């Protein structure tokens, strides 16, 4: 069981993402905004494209942003369950998978993803995102960190064979 403990990240992130998106949709008008601090607002936005709205104006984007994530999700599930990895790599992959599942759920159900975290500083503005996006970003960052340390490091752990 301990070998799969990192998989608990998946339902926690998925349902946390669902819960926050439901709160936004039920309690905020579309395109409304609530300023929290001088650099953070809660908004109700819809993303019909990929990360940062990429390809949101193209008709093929719906197909691209349904098929590609499903292939990635299937690959991540296979990779997580088929091979043994160091704990940090498992955590990173679970975060990526959880976020991908959260966003693909929205895209399959609604045709878009609800974004609501809006970060900015002066005239510099980061595109709105959600819990699933943050999980994917943290997972990729953690995975890159383990790869930079290289095989055999404490974070990377010893190289292991499949199985």
Strands ordered across the beta sheet of 113-121: 33-35, 40-47, 113-121, 124-125
Task: Flag whether pLDDT at 56 surpasses 70.
Answer: no
10-26 pLDDT, tens digit per residue, is 999 999 999 999 999 99
pTM exceeds 0.75, yes or no: yes
> What tens digit of pLDDT does each residue of 85-144 get?
889 999 999 999 999 999 999 999 998 999 999 999 999 999 999 999 999 999 999 999
The owner of tokens 């300023």 is 35
Residue 154 has pLDDT above 60, yes or no: no
pLDDT confidence tier of residue 83, bands split at 50, 70 and 90: confident
Helix (H) or strand (E) holding 143: helix 131-149
| Number of domains forming the structure of the chain | 1
Catalytic residue among 17, 106, 115, 118: 115
Is 13 within a domain? Answer: no
| pLDDT for the residue numbered 158 | 46
Which of 17, 106, 118, 133 is catalytic? The answer is 133
Per the prediction, the chain carries an average pLDDT of 86
- Does 158 fall in a domain? no
Within a domain: 154: no
Question: Any catalytic annotation for residue 133?
Answer: yes
Residue 17 bears catalytic tag: no
What size, in residues, is the chain?
Answer: 163
DSSP 8-class letter at 129: B
Residue 105 within any structural domain of the chain: yes
The range of the structural domain enclosing residue 115 comes to 20-49+60-149
Question: Is 14 within a domain?
Answer: no
């Amino acid at each position: 069981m301990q070998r799969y403990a990192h998989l608990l990240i998946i339902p926690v992130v998925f349902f946390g993402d669902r819960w926050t998106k439901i709160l936004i949709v039920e309690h905020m008008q579309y395109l409304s905004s609530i300023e929290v601090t001088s650099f953070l607002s809660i908004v109700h936005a819809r993303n019909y494209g990929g990360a940062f709205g990429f390809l949101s104006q193209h008709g093929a984007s719906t197909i691209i942003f349904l098929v590609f994530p499903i292939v990635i999700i299937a690959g991540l599930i296979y990779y997580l369950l088929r091979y043994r990895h160091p704990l940090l790599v498992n955590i990173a992959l679970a975060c990526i998978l959880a976020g991908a599942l959260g966003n693909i759920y929205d895209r399959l159900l609604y045709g878009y993803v609800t974004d609501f975290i809006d970060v900015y500083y002066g005239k510099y503005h980061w595109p709105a995102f959600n819990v699933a996006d943050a999980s994917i970003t943290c997972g990729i960052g953690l995975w890159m960190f383990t790869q930079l340390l290289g095989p055999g490091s404490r974070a990377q752990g010893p190289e292991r064979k499949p199985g």
